[in-house]
Amino acid sequence: MRKNQNKKGKKTIKERVSLLITLIVFINILIFLPFNIKNMPLLAGYVLTKEDIKSNEEFITEFNYIRDNIKYLYLASSDSDLYDEVEKIENLLNEGITSSVKILISDLTNKFNEISSRNQLELEKQFNEINDEKLEGFFEEELITISNYKGEFETLYNDKKYNEAKNILDILKQYIDENKKLANIRKIDEVYEENSLEDPSIREPKYINGILIVNKEYGLPDTYAPGEDPEAREAFERMKIDAAAEGIYLNAFSTYRSYYTQERLYNNYVYTYGQPSTDTFSARAGFSEHQTGLAFDIGGVDRSLWAQENFKYTEEAKWLKENCYKYGFILRYPEGKEWKTGYMHESWHFRYIGVEHSVNFANSDLTLEEYLGL
């Protein structure tokens, strides 16, 4: 009896413990089931087929590719919301891959591919343009530098690193532009040196499209002495009257100069400033546009600014720059075109070429050399 009682007592404790455990397990299931159900396809009533899993993997791979490669694109400001879209998809993916996320990834892929091929086309076009440039008068080491840049570009382009490739292309373009100008200045100096040594009496005036061109390459014979051109003077007088009506007072302080006047002037400058410096602002005899009778040095009311660099800041200079073409004149040595004309900017030096030509120069910094295809 005692034995049985003991046995019976132990059983009761065991039963209680197991009941408690069962209860705890059941409560746990009750608590966690709702949270887990969405992760359990069978319970959620949704079965993932092999195709589903494969397609999900493809979307994830695609998305990861875009996320990792977006930094290699160069984006227009209208494209820059691509980053926001990536972030949005990333956040949504944390909650699982749904059909709406798949649509977002598809849209993102299309946009990415579109920008990517746009980048590619633009770069190809720019690279071809650079490749077609003639690199006359470049130094050997400059050509090597250029070919190194091109190689660097090609590697980046093939790796689809479009923004870095674009960067190299911009640097290369700038490098070529700068050295092209320097090469052109060297060429002008060389030709000038040669031509100014020849006998001026055998020189012939050079006309292109009916326009007499005088620069460091094309000079005039010492016997060429037409005096001031009456048509140019008449045009200047009309311009002067119209300017005055707007409160702008113009003075033509130097127009025609003979070969010998120019010779004296140039030699005086050389005496004061030395030849290299003089050659940037004053022509050697036979190479001055003033000998044509078609060049007018124009100033305003302040005489101290005549033929001075600071003349360019005056109202008169601004008016002339904007209006001279209406009267057949052009600004002969524009700012930033020293490499083309061989002369520093002269905001006071105007050349008469007739309205039929000068209209093509309206509000631009086109040079006569460029206009005539030199």
Binding site for Zn ion (CB under 5 A): 297, 349
Report which residue type is found at 185: I
Minimum gap (Å) between residue 329 Cβ and Zn ion: 12
The smaller minimum CB distance to Zn ion, of residues 297 and 370, is found at 297
**158, 164, 170, 175: CA torsion to nearest 10:** -90
Minimum gap (Å) between residue 321 Cβ and Zn ion: 15
DSSP type of residue 215? S
- Residue 187, judged by CB atoms within 10 A of its CB (0-12, 13-18, 19+), counts as middle
3-state secondary structure of 239: helix
Minimum gap (Å) between residue 123 Cβ and Zn ion: 45
Check if the beta carbon of residue 259 is closer than 8 Å to that of residue 225: yes
Closest residue to Zn ion: CB criterion:
349
End-to-end CA, the chain: 130
* Residue of 305, 374, 315 lying closest to 346 (CA atoms): 305
Report which residue type is found at 312: K
The smaller minimum CB distance to Zn ion, of residues 179 and 262, is found at 262
Minimum gap (Å) between residue 240 Cβ and Zn ion: 17
Report which residue type is found at 240: K
Minimum gap (Å) between residue 348 Cβ and Zn ion: 7
3-state secondary structure of 159: coil
Minimum gap (Å) between residue 198 Cβ and Zn ion: 23
The smaller minimum CB distance to Zn ion, of residues 180 and 257, is found at 257
The smaller minimum CB distance to Zn ion, of residues 119 and 255, is found at 255
The smaller minimum CB distance to Zn ion, of residues 119 and 291, is found at 291
Instruction: For residues 363 and 323, give the distance between their C-alpha atoms in angstroms, rounded to a whole number.
Output: 8
The smaller minimum CB distance to Zn ion, of residues 179 and 367, is found at 367
* Tokens 């061989």 found at: 342
